[in-house]
Amino acid sequence: MSMNAQGRPTAPAPETRPAASGPAALLPAEPLLFEIGDHDHSGVDLPDVEISDDRLGGLRRKAPLDLPGLTEPEAMRHYVRLSRRNYSIDSGMYPLGSCTMKHNPRLNEKMARLPGFADIHPLQPVSTVQGALMAMEQLSHWLMELTNTAAVALSPKAGAHGELCGMMAIKAAHEARGQGHRRIVLVPESAHGTNPATAAFLGYAVRSIDANENGTVDVAAVKAALSDDVAAIMLTNPNTCGLFESQIIEIAAAVHEAGAYFYCDGANFNAIMGVVRPGDLGIDAMHINLHKTFSTPHGGGGPGSGPVVLSEALAPHAPVPFVTRDGDSLGLAEHAGEGSLGRLTAFHGQMGMYIRALTYMLSHGADGLAQAARDAVLNANYLKARLDDLFTVPFDGQPVMHEVLFDDSFLKGSGISTLDFAKAMIDEGYHPMTMYFPLVVQGAMLIEPTESESLQTLDAFVETMRELAEDAKAGNVGRFAQAPMRAPLRRLDETRAARQPRLKYQPLAAAAE
């Protein structure tokens, strides 16, 4: 391993890095547990049990349980070997724009595993879970404080679920006001796919709003589209081009004037937390991805959580349950009052995620959250400044927020696509950025470094990206068309994997027949 000027070890150069496949590799082909184990062995030694059939009501198993017998080292090694094939935020930079893969402080995990949070059951008497309810109350307080809103629904289990919750509250509010006929939802063309999907799921017709040449929403287009038939606008701020919607107040006023509500997609709240309060901008509902904003792993790393904050107008329509307080005693309101949209999930939501987010908030403090947002913005602008002579920036009118969007015009004529470029990044030890999203530009590359990457890490990333871009411009097509060459698996048929997933294990012999 070599050292850079700061005396920090740098990643090995590509030539010296071990190839990740091949007979001598550290990552051999990994069979399934069912293929390693057999029925004759067991990792545990249990005494034979005498069970009389009458106690089982005739439900006694007739064939042996089809589980593989394995020793503990065999099982352990299988999972550790699989884990080494994963790229993770703990193994390197993960610059996935919009998805915000933040470092997850270990303190979060330690707190979430405290028995008073981890080992409780949702059907326990509330008198025995007062501490957990207090944590939920505190989290609610922080979320309303940071957004200047009147209510919060904690139970949605992801951003998309939060959108559903917020839009259901909007629907309930319209119905309560005798405005149930409103059937159109306006969605800017740069929106995340979950926005139109949510609106359509609730039976709304989706009308797309064009972006202007600066990459933000065209206010005139919003005003022209508003009518007595419009129920809401769903707008992301900062938007998915990494830009602050600077005319958001004017948009909110026009939307309210037309009798509609303003749903804000708050997935990018990490760029403005502690700096801007969305309630001050006129939003009525906004989901907050706890798993993007307040650290915590998501995707393959763990569950998500998408609390929704609501304005004064929508608060009466919030779902149940929510935490109530009577003096020192906390409870959960379980029964939907008049106007409430009812219940979205079986219980109260993701306790583990609440604790991780609250830990992140309390360990940063209000000033620290604002600092994290500013650092995220600084890091994204640093990458932009160091790359924009080689990469092409489609919207260059204002500084970016937490992420920087490039398009593929710099690759024009090279025979190399955004996908090829991303695959070549894997060979250099980086998880690719978000590709082909947002759809408003051709061949999008959306890079989000987050606040926690050091200057050294950012510089190493910049050097790699510059070297790749120069090589692409020099027409070294082979390197890109072949990539990834060092990954455990090369290019996969992602379409087929998504369309025809193989979800059921078939014994090899049966599969061969």
Ligand X SMILES: *Cc1c(COP(=O)(O)O)cnc(C)c1O
- Binding positions for ligand X, rule: CB under 6 A: 98-99, 158-160, 192, 194, 236, 240, 265, 267, 289, 304, 306
Backbone phi and psi for residue 287, each to the nearest 5 degrees, phi listed first: -90, 150
Task: In the chain, count H helices and then E strands.
Answer: 17, 12
Closer CB to ligand X, residue 102 or residue 424?
Answer: 102
Closer CB to ligand X, residue 299 or residue 399?
Answer: 299
The CA distance from 295 to 282, in Å, is 26
Task: Tell me the closest approach of the beta carbon of residue 191 to ligand X, in angstroms.
Answer: 7
Closer CB to ligand X, residue 160 or residue 281?
Answer: 160
Task: Tell me the closest approach of the beta carbon of residue 97 to ligand X, in angstroms.
Answer: 9
Task: Tell me the closest approach of the beta carbon of residue 39 to ligand X, in angstroms.
Answer: 41
Closer CB to ligand X, residue 264 or residue 472?
Answer: 264
Task: Tell me the closest approach of the beta carbon of residue 298 to ligand X, in angstroms.
Answer: 7
355 in helix, strand or coil? helix
Task: Tell me the closest approach of the beta carbon of residue 99 to ligand X, in angstroms.
Answer: 6
The CA distance from 443 to 451, in Å, is 26
Q: Of 345, 270, 350, whose CA–CA distance to 303 is shortest?
A: 350
Residues with Cβ within 8 Å of residue 218, at least 6 apart in sequence: 209, 210, 211, 212
Backbone phi and psi for residue 280, each to the nearest 5 degrees, phi listed first: -70, -20
Task: Tell me the closest approach of the beta carbon of residue 24 to ligand X, in angstroms.
Answer: 39
65 in helix, strand or coil? coil
Closer CB to ligand X, residue 129 or residue 376?
Answer: 376
Residues with Cβ within 8 Å of residue 179, at least 6 apart in sequence: 231, 259
Closer CB to ligand X, residue 190 or residue 340?
Answer: 190
Q: Of 438, 442, 429, whose CA–CA distance to 404 is shortest?
A: 438
Closer CB to ligand X, residue 437 or residue 461?
Answer: 437
The CA distance from 261 to 240, in Å, is 21
Residue 243 burial by Cβ neighbours in a 10 Å radius (0-12, 13-18, 19+) = buried
Per-residue HEC secondary structure of 464-490 comes to: HHHHHHHHHHCCCHHHHHHCCCCCCCC
Task: Tell me the closest approach of the beta carbon of residue 98 to ligand X, in angstroms.
Answer: 4
Closer CB to ligand X, residue 216 or residue 289?
Answer: 289
| Peptide bond before residue 303 is cis, with ω within 30 degrees of 0 | no
Task: Tell me the closest approach of the beta carbon of residue 430 to ligand X, in angstroms.
Answer: 20
Residue 284 contacts residue 311 (beta carbons within 8 Å) = yes
Closer CB to ligand X, residue 234 or residue 468?
Answer: 234
Task: Tell me the closest approach of the beta carbon of residue 348 to ligand X, in angstroms.
Answer: 18
The residue of the chain with the least Cβ separation from ligand X equals 159
